[in-house]
Amino acid sequence: MKYDQLIQLYFERSNALQWYWTLYVVVIGGLLAVSNLRLRRDILTVCLVTVLYGFFACKNLGAIHDVTLQRGATLEAIHQYHAADAQTPETEALRSQLEPTLVQPAYEGIRTFHITCDVLIILLLWAMERRRVKYAKDHPQAGPA
């Protein structure tokens, strides 16, 4: 691969990573919006949503892991690139400006952040359900739950 192809691959993997995070945020937002709008209490629904969200979160984290590894391997290839055409003045100028900005955060931090968010989302789902149960007990005239 040529240097410009490696740079293009790096940014393609970065875009893929960004899409997985965007999907994650959209799913969380939708899940919390729907859960917040629900009026009736239903433990079975909350259990099912919790399990399904857990499955989604695991698969999403797995995809983020894979793309992070691909991106890291590409970054390593960029740093190790020493072909003859890499020694042109334009390429050397590009390398000296671009490569310091290409950083790869440690996957452990990414994983910790994702799992922390997952746990907080699940706790929030159950807190919303608890609020519905408490409201139904405090306001029995509000109708059937």
Is 145 domain-assigned?
A: no
Q: What is the pLDDT of residues 22-79, one digit of tens each?
A: 999 999 999 999 988 887 888 899 999 999 999 999 999 999 999 999 999 999 998 8
Task: Check residue 40 and give its pLDDT.
Answer: 80
Angle ∠(128,53,73) on CA atoms, nearest 5: 135
Cβ neighbourhood burial of 43 (10 Å; 0-12, 13-18, 19+): exposed
Q: What is the pLDDT of residues 80-129, one digit of tens each?
A: 887 655 567 777 787 888 888 998 999 999 999 999 999 999 999 999 99
Count structural domains, the chain.
1
Is 60 domain-assigned?
A: yes
Domain of residue 22: give its range: 3-138
Is 144 domain-assigned?
A: no
Is 143 domain-assigned?
A: no
Is 87 domain-assigned?
A: yes
Q: Structure pTM?
A: 0.84
